[in-house]
Chain A
Amino acid sequence: MSHEFEPTILAFVCNWCTFTAADLAGTSRMIQQPNLRMVRMMCTGMVDPKYIVKSLLSGADGVLVSGCHPGDCHYINGNYKARRRVKLLNEILPQFGIEKERVKLTWVGASEGNEFAATVNNFINEIRELGPMEARSMAVI
């Protein structure tokens, strides 16, 4: 795969855990690749599947959904709901050639700045290998 391709990754992160971890990673000056665009949500439980679908159709090569570890959700169970929704998309999107790897759900707690940086870097590398999303090269979508 050509390494000229630089992926665009959209991340929907929860305010209470992963966003705090991202903040920590930043203030700790951890090295992160600049391919990520982050959207702070109050909870992964409010990430509607259509946000993910729209992202992939509109130029994102991968979508990261990241929130609190099971049992840690600020709203008690939003992350469990997110898990079912990502599972649903995992079944729908591959039927149209959208690789499962492009939609990732991870749990990154507020104190895990290093985990966040590693997750971001690894995900970007993975998508760089996988190549661009088909929608990018389509004239009509």
Chain B
Amino acid sequence: MATTAKIMIDGGNPIAAVQDFLRGLMENESIGGVLVPMHLFGKGIPMPTLVTDPKQLSGADPLAPAFPMNSAKLLARLTRGQSGERIAAVMRPCEIRAFVELVKLNQGSLDDVILVGLDCMGAFDNTGYKAFRGDRDPFETTQDFLGRIGNGGADIAQACKACEYPAPENADLVLGLAGADLAGHIPVMASSPRGESLLNGLGLPEAESANGRDKALAAMIETRTANRDEMFERTRAVTGTLTDLSEYLASCVNCYNCRVACPVCYCKECVFNTDVFEHKPWQYMGWAKRKGSLKMPTDTVFYHLTRMAHMSMACVGCGQCSNACPNDIPVMELFRTVAARTQESFDYVPGRSLDEPPPLSVFKEDEFQDAVSHMA
């Protein structure tokens, strides 16, 4: 799309500039609310917040290097069914890609939402963010983080280090932070017809082009892809057998937090929470006697393999599974490594296009002959 405008930055404060931009969105158009990460308390982590009063946007900070949850599931709640009003949602690229997957599964809708994507510089995991912030003011923390981009950076979450999608796809408006001069302006691009009409109505000064954005993105993608491939190799090396996998998951306590945090673990009721797994005492005794012992809780490896079968096709690599793990098992590494192969074999990129159905929801008559054996 053609339109590129500038969000002017005054006094070296890009956060305030983005807040102003969001206020403009709410005042200028038929937008009833904005879903955006907000600092709600002095301490803690910015949480996705649905703001309907533009005055309250002073706590909004979508540039904060914090990522407590993938907001795709939250946006699904806000868009499944009618609210009667259109909202805007400010999201990271992985959140948008996860949301697109949920829309394909009819768990959310793009009809009444304007997606504002931003070039993602990555984020800390929850403990990392708290450590980075210390006792500082949350906005000062964000400024500090933004200042480090390109200057050696900061120790962001592994999922972000290995993320090859720093630029948002399928957004209506894109905040082109990559390569932007944060003392001058942030370019904002319309990337859909409705994004374009919205942007034109905002009366922002036009920009010639997002100078240097492509180059900055290309450099980020290159570094991150290399990091990702290293991560794949590292993970394959320690999970190549069932014994290795069990050891990898050895501290798993079956809390299922990774499933709860996963934006694309789409089942409304997970089978692992049903009475399918409410075993009788005599069953446990029987299983224990087979080998002389039985690890409790049971079915840990089974749970993770089942999850891979369910979500690996739609895994966007947001890393919230690792963020949610109470025992620091690098589950993101494992799930992404598996997903890389399953997604490649079905030629599927989650979040790429609304027109691509989830592979396990469709079939063709003449395909995957390699999966069929002829044994007679």
Contact = CB atoms under 8 A, between A and B. Distances in A.
Of B245, B305, B359, chain A has the most CB atoms within 10 Å of the CB of: B305
Contacts, number: 121
A70 to B, nearest CB: 6
Contacts of A1: none
Given A70-B365, A90-B371, A97-B244, 5 more contacts: A80-B365, A88-B342, A91-B342, A98-B242, A106-B373
A91 B360 CA distance: 14
Interface stretch (B62-70, B132-140, B220-228, B306-314): B306-314
A16 interface: no
A89 B295 contact: no
Name the prevailing secondary structure of the B interface residues: helix
A46 B360 CA distance: 13
A98 B302 CA distance: 13
Given A107-B372, A114-B376, A118-B375, A92 B301 contact: no
Task: Identify the interface centre among A81, A88, A90, A119: most chain B CB within 10 Å of its CB.
Answer: A88
Contact of B342 (A57, A70, A92, A116): A92
A118 B373 CA distance: 13
A49 B312 CA distance: 13
Contacts of A104: 373, 375
Contacts of A96: 239-242, 244-245, 305
B241 A49 contact: no
B353 interface: no
Given A96-B245, A139-B293, A91 B341 contact: yes
Overall SS of chain A's interface: helix
B33 to A, nearest CB: 39
A141 B375 contact: no
A54 interface: yes
A82 to B, nearest CB: 9
A83 interface: yes
Interface residues of A, number: 45
Contacts of B371: 83-84, 86-87, 90, 105
A88 B242 contact: no
B305 A135 contact: no
A50 B309 CA distance: 8
17 contacts: A50-B271, A50-B305, A57-B302, A70-B365, A71-B365, A77-B363, A83-B367, A83-B372, A84-B368, A84-B371, A85-B309, A88-B309, A95-B338, A97-B244, A108-B376, A118-B376, A123-B375
Contacts of A49: 306, 309
B295 A140 contact: yes
A101 B56 CA distance: 60
B58 interface: no
Given A122-B375, A139-B293, A141-B301, A89 B309 contact: yes
A115 B346 CA distance: 30
A139 B338 CA distance: 25
